[in-house]
Amino acid sequence: MTKAERINNPGKQRPPYWVAESYKGRVVATFFCPQGHRLKLREHDVATDGTVNPRVECNYVHPDTEVACEFNDKVKLEGWSHGESVAVS
C-alpha cells in the first residue's frame, strides 16, 4: 500500500503525492508515483477513506533509456474527502 499525501503545489515535495482536480464537474485525483510520474485517476474508484481501486500501475517509459517505471501498487489518498466540491485553481 502506497500512501500519498495531498498537496497543492506539485514539485516542492518528494512524491508520492496527489492533487485534486476538477473533471466533468467532479473531483478527480492526479497521483504522482514515487518516481514523480503523473497519473490521472479518472477511471479509478476512490473509496470514502481514500483507497483507490483497482491497483495503480504506472506505465511511464523513459523516452531515452526505454526503461519502464515499475510502480504497481494499491494507493491510498490521504486527505481524500468523498464527494466534496473542491475549489480547483
Residues that bind Zn ion (CB under 5 A): 33, 35, 37, 58, 60, 69, 71
Q: Shortest Cβ distance from residue 71 to Zn ion (Å)?
A: 4
Please name the residue that has the C-alpha cell 473531483: 27
- Residues in CB range of 76: below 8 A, 6 or more apart: 1, 2, 3, 4, 49, 50, 51, 52
Q: Shortest Cβ distance from residue 15 to Zn ion (Å)?
A: 9
Distance CA 77, CA 79 (A): 6
Please name the residue that has the C-alpha cell 492526479: 30
When the beta carbons of 72 and 85 are compared against Zn ion, the nearer one is 72
Q: Shortest Cβ distance from residue 19 to Zn ion (Å)?
A: 16
When the beta carbons of 23 and 60 are compared against Zn ion, the nearer one is 60
When the beta carbons of 67 and 87 are compared against Zn ion, the nearer one is 67
